[in-house]
Amino acid sequence: MSTESARLREMIGQAGRIVGFTGAGVSTESGIPDFRSPGGIWTRYDPRDFEFSRYVEDPEVRRRSWQMRREFFAAAAQPNPAHLTFARLEREGRSPGVITQNIDGLHQDAGSRTVLELHGTAREVACIGTRPQHGVPRGCGWRAPWEWASERVEAGDTDPGCPQCSGLVKSATISFGQMLDEEVLERAAALARSADLLIAAGSSLQVHPAAGVPLEVLRGGGRLVVLNDEPTPLDDAAALVVRGRAGEVLGAVA
């Protein structure tokens, strides 16, 4: 075990209120492709298809989006040791929850009960209204499990509409150009401030405003650990930086 990993083990042992903050690196360890790397999503889909405005304007973009989601779930990804570590800390009463940039629901599969999903969830779909503007969904409030859309696409409906108001239906994820849910963002910031130790694992910490959330632990008087296999903009603010893959490190440390 490296010196940094040994120090992380010591910090986890000393902390009584640990919050996890996870990014795409945690998902890729479970076999979910990220956007930018070779073989990632952007090598097979036009990056512009992930813009909220294009989804609203173009039914062909919506058709491709549903196809991509079907591929996403066909991977049948499973939680890895990073997910399981944060879930165990919560079960033991040593963590109030986890904050994630990921949309896959693997933290819940691992057993975490309090999961704040900054970028939404791919496991649900939601009405976004007939003509949402400025990146703000303006739907009727209808939501359903992902399977609702999957069944309709399978039956030949390439652009399923809301059964309540006939508005557009979209995966309940945050697309580029779409506003984050302010309530979720505020709850995440408060959760980070309440921690005495926040472990930012598998995130490049470059996508804002989510990337600023880990700094809230410092405002609350706690300590920040950055666990990532590449440098991040928050390394200088961290009490400890550990280079490595989140699942491998946490599985060995915790």
Residue 74 has pLDDT above 80, yes or no: no
Catalytic residue of the set 83, 107, 119, 134: 119
CA 167 centroid distance within chain = 26
Q: Is 119 annotated as catalytic?
A: yes
Residue 2 has pLDDT above 90, yes or no: no
Q: Which of 56, 53, 52 is nearest to 129 (CA)?
A: 56
Task: Check if the beta carbon of residue 226 is closer than 8 Å to that of residue 238.
Answer: yes
The mean pLDDT of 75-101, rounded to a whole number, is 95
**Would you say 127 is a known binding-site residue?**
yes
Residue 108 has pLDDT above 90, yes or no: yes
53, β-bridge pairs: none
Q: How far apart are CA 17 and CA 22, in angstroms?
A: 16
**Would you say 162 is a known binding-site residue?**
yes
Bond from prior residue into 163 cis (ω within 30 degrees of 0): no
The mean pLDDT of 151-162, rounded to a whole number, is 95
Task: Check if the beta carbon of residue 9 is closer than 8 Å to that of residue 225.
Answer: no
Q: How far apart are CA 80 and CA 206, in angstroms?
A: 23
CATH of 1-31+78-119+181-254, one of 3.40.50.1220, 2.40.50.140, 3.90.380.10, 3.40.50.1820: 3.40.50.1220
The model's pTM is 0.92
Please tell me the CATH code under which domain 33-74+120-173 is placed. Answer: 3.30.1600.10
The mean pLDDT of 145-159, rounded to a whole number, is 95
Instruction: Look at residue 32 in the predicted model and tell me its pLDDT.
Output: 83
Q: How far apart are CA 244 and CA 169, in angstroms?
A: 39
End-to-end CA distance of the chain: 12
Domain boundaries, the chain: 1-31+78-119+181-254, 33-74+120-173
